[in-house]
Amino acid sequence: MSARERAPLPKGYWTIWTTVALDLVGFGIVVPILGVYAERFGASGYAVGWLFATFSLAQLVCAPLLGRLSDRIGRKPVIIISLVGTAIGSFVTGAAGALWVLFLGRIIDGASGASLAVAQAAVADIAEPERRPPLVGMLGAAFGVGFVLGPAIGGLAALGGPHVPFYVAAALAAINAVAAIIRLPETRKPDRTAAAAARRRFAVPGQPALRHLAIVGFLTTFAFVAFEATFSLFGKARFGLTEGSTAVVFLGIGLVLIAVQGGGFAKIAARVPITRVYTAGLGLVVVGLVVVGVSEVWPLLIAGLLLLSLGQGVASPSLIEMVNRTAGEDRRGEAMGFQQSATAFGRVLGPPLAGSAYDRIGVWSPMVFGGAVTAAALVLVVVVWRMHGSMTTQSA
């Protein structure tokens, strides 16, 4: 083990990590069951897709604003605002008596959904450039915690009724907000003034490398949410999965993400250029999505899900690190917000198109088409790599 690997974690890192993990546990409670929950209100596959997209449309509009706001007033208050919005949105979703109220709850949740992007900027604030990849990878492992604990908690809560998981998610977000007020550190350095932030006037969209990374993020997110939004329907139609067994599948995905991002990614990123790590991850995602889509027996489904989880576990923190290296220190919050806005656009278009393909083409189509879109993103990464090779080597 190197001296770098033995060095203590930056002060406040575990508090940031815990805040993100709890937020994603709440997300993990909601996502696996939202499609089936919406069917209780008469939603079709197309309507379910738009239910997911509504969250992301609100996030698309608000994430860059909240990210830039965090550059000006600090990370902590923006994260707290986001958590409070999540609590309100989840409560409204659980209290819904009609489909339109479900949409309202998702809009509220999405409009305040910048906590992850701002937390990623906070980690970059406190980490030395050479230590960022493993720390970002460990933060990504919080996704795995969300996938593991969220569905498990949601499955248990659903025993009390279909609305209960959303109330649990709301309570968790509220508790997380209170904990953030008490324990979350402010990571902004004193010399990063509001006046300096005001002079930038949304500088990030003017950087070609960041624009290209945003397009890649949009494509890969579009593909993954095609899987995410329709898998509960796919599993029910092809394998007879219930809400509980679907939660078990997402639990397995979460365990793989924890294993990869909690340790494996750091070792890989220390030895292999980050762009190559990212392209390898995308390749696994392509194969995994296609295999899931064509699977009709359990062994093939499990193999596809494993490949998809491994690829996603490697690709997600790699893209975050590429954005961090490209953005300057004073633009970090805005850059992460811009990236989250691009991925939110993928979440806007992906679910309704996936739901429509599910209804009109076949249960396999969202996964297979998602694999094709990811393959296109992989080609684009190679092109961008050659055009802006320095973007993945400069430090911030």
Reported as a single tens digit per residue, the pLDDT across 369-382 is 999 999 999 998 88
Domain spans in the chain, listed from the N-terminal domain onward: 12-392
Supply the pTM of this predicted model: 0.74
Query: CA–CA distance from 211 to each of 23, 279, 320, 330 (Å)?
Result: 28, 18, 14, 18
pLDDT value at residue 372: 95
Mean pLDDT rounded to a whole number for the chain = 82
pLDDT for residue 62: 84
User: Which of 373, 342, 289, 370 lies closest to 56, judged by CA?
Assistant: 342
Q: Which amino acid is at 283?
A: G
| pLDDT reported for residue 174 | 93
Residue 263 DSSP label: I
**What confidence score (pLDDT) does residue 56 get?**
76
Closest CA to 124 of 331, 311, 339, 391: 331
Segments of the chain with pLDDT less than 50: 1, 191, 193-194, 197, 199, 390-396
Q: What is the pLDDT of residue 206?
A: 54
| pLDDT value at residue 84 | 92
CB-based contact 201:355 (threshold 8 Å) = no
Is the CB of residue 250 less than 8 Å from the CB of residue 146? no
SS3 296: coil
The two tokens of residue 248 are: 């078990």
| pLDDT value for 396 | 42
Show the tokens assigned to 270: 């220390």
- Residue 189, judged by CB atoms within 10 A of its CB (0-12, 13-18, 19+), counts as exposed
User: What pLDDT is stored for residue 53 in this prediction?
Assistant: 76
User: Which fold is adopted by the domain 12-392?
Assistant: Growth Hormone; Chain: A; (1.20.1250)
Judged on CB neighbours under 10 Å (0-12, 13-18, 19+), 247 is buried
Q: Do 24 and 143 contact (CB within 8 A), yes or no?
A: yes
Note whether 187 and 313 are within 8 A (CB): no
